[in-house]
């Protein structure tokens, strides 16, 4: 029902998480039903799936994303085992013989139906609702809107579902089951089949808070005008990022020193309009920005610094300039409200050939002479 909406959190970093096969007894963490993002690290991908583990790793690297938690792969297993889904699937497969392209559609429908119709044991729901309440408390919002995102321990790019703008316990439980079920969509089953993997797959489910963007914008971890890597450029305007991304508004623009994180230049943008969600939360509309808000910068110095601090961490983490989408969440308090939505490598300057900016000279003395002769030109 929300498939028409852009996925809000799209951190797609690939991690060199190491695989630990040596352990036999389950640790406390391995028996968890829910783990918060900030409890996770890259090597936890076998507990919560890659996407979730990556988010934890990001947080560890100082890259803040929307707060939330993950239902573990163990929780999925607990669900299908205790509700008899696992044995039902195994029996079904026995009857089927083997999964083929021909019967995959039928197998998919069987599994999806089984999961979506089952009830979830209280050992899972009790904890899920308790942790969801904590997220509501953190945001100070009743039935805070969240997303559910599937997260497998192995990469199955884009073959599983994300559902947005989920509110309340009932809705949440409903979409968590739908997310679990999405592991049995035809594309997912055939992908596993091609790879020679098993039919049954337990996945992690990420439950991040939907970002309530007071402002959002784009960062380049270089100066986009000249490729200078010692600068960070920030474009920011009110509401959802669409307004900035699509060029609907002239945003506020900041040039910041990447090393010291001190602003060098601030330019006030027009910011006539902003994009916001409709009341129902399903579509985006454009509304006018009040004159008072237009005539001042949309973020303060501390927020700017925090955006740049995180952007610098991303640049360092990947070792190259990045293009970053961020938002400041109206429900959260500073600095937790500064949230990274999407990152991708910078593509313009990274492709250009890098030429020296300074002429080759014999030695320092030669450079001093050259400086004296050139002087400083008054433009």
Tell me which residues touch another protein (CB under 8 A): 223, 226, 228-231, 255, 257-260, 262-266, 301, 354-358, 360-361, 363-365, 367-379
> CA-to-CA distance for 105 and 301, rounded, in angstroms?
55
User: Which CB atom, from 15 or from 305, has the smaller least distance to another protein?
Assistant: 305
Q: How far is the CB of 224 from another protein (least distance, A)?
A: 13
Burial of 237 (0-12, 13-18, 19+ CB in 10 A): buried
Q: How far is the CB of 337 from another protein (least distance, A)?
A: 21
Q: How far is the CB of 298 from another protein (least distance, A)?
A: 16
Taking each helix axis as running N to C, give the angle between helix 85-96 and helix 73-82, from 0 to 180 degrees, rounded to the nearest 10: 80
Q: Are 152 and 172 in contact (CB under 8 A)?
A: no
User: Which CB atom, from 235 or from 242, has the smaller least distance to another protein?
Assistant: 235
**b/e map 259-271, b = 16+ CB within 10 Å:** eebebeeeeebeb
Write down the residue that tokens 């119709």 correspond to. 117
Q: How far is the CB of 373 from another protein (least distance, A)?
A: 5
In 3D space, the residue among 290, 341, 318 whose CA is nearest the CA of residue 222 turns out to be: 318
DSSP state of 164: E
Q: How far is the CB of 300 from another protein (least distance, A)?
A: 10
User: Which CB atom, from 193 or from 268, has the smaller least distance to another protein?
Assistant: 268
CA distances from 318 to 16, 157, 189 (A): 12, 21, 33
User: Which CB atom, from 110 or from 317, has the smaller least distance to another protein?
Assistant: 317
Q: How far is the CB of 260 from another protein (least distance, A)?
A: 6
User: Which CB atom, from 133 or from 350, has the smaller least distance to another protein?
Assistant: 350
User: Which CB atom, from 278 or from 359, has the smaller least distance to another protein?
Assistant: 359
């Amino acid at each position: 029902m929300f498939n028409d909406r852009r996925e809000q959190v799209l951190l797609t970093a690939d991690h060199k998480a190491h695989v630990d096969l040596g352990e036999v007894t389950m640790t406390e963490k391995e028996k968890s039903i829910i783990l918060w993002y900030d409890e996770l690290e890259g090597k936890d991908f076998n507990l919560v799936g890659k996407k979730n583990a990556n988010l934890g790793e990001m947080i560890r690297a100082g890259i803040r994303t929307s707060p939330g938690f993950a239902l573990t792969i163990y929780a999925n297993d607990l669900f299908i085992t205790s509700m008899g889904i696992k044995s039902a699937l195994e029996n079904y497969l026995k009857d089927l013989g083997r999964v083929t392209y021909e019967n995959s559609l039928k197998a998919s429908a069987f599994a999806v139906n089984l999961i979506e119709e089952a009830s979830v044991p209280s050992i899972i729901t009790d904890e899920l609702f308790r942790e969801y309440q904590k997220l509501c408390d953190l945001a100070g919002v009743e039935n805070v809107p969240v997303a559910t995102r599937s997260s497998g321990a192995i990469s199955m790019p884009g073959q599983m579902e994300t559902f947005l703008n989920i509110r309340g316990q009932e809705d949440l439980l409903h979409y968590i089951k739908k997310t679990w079920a999405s592991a049995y969509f035809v594309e997912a089953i055939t992908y596993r089949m091609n790879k020679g993997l098993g039919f049954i797959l337990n996945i992690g489910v990420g439950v991040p808070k939907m970002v309530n963007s007071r402002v959002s914008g784009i960062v380049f971890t270089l100066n986009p005008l000249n490729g200078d890597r010692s600068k960070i450029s920030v474009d920011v305007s009110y509401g959802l990022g669409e307004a900035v991304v699509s060029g609907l508004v002239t945003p506020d623009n900041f040039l910041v020193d990447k090393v010291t994180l001190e602003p060098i230049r601030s330019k006030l943008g027009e910011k006539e309009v902003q994009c916001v969600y409709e009341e129902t939360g399903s579509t985006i509309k454009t509304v006018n920005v009040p004159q008072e808000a237009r005539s001042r910068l949309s973020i303060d110095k501390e927020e700017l610094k925090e955006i740049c601090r995180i952007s610098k961490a991303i640049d360092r983490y990947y070792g190259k300039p990045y293009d970053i989408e961020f938002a400041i969440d109206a429900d959260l308090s500073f600095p937790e409200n500064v949230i990274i939505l999407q990152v991708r490598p910078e593509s313009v300057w990274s492709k250009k050939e890098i030429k020296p900016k300074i002429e080759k000279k014999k030695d320092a003395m030669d450079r001093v002479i050259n400086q004296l002769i050139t002087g400083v030109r008054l433009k």
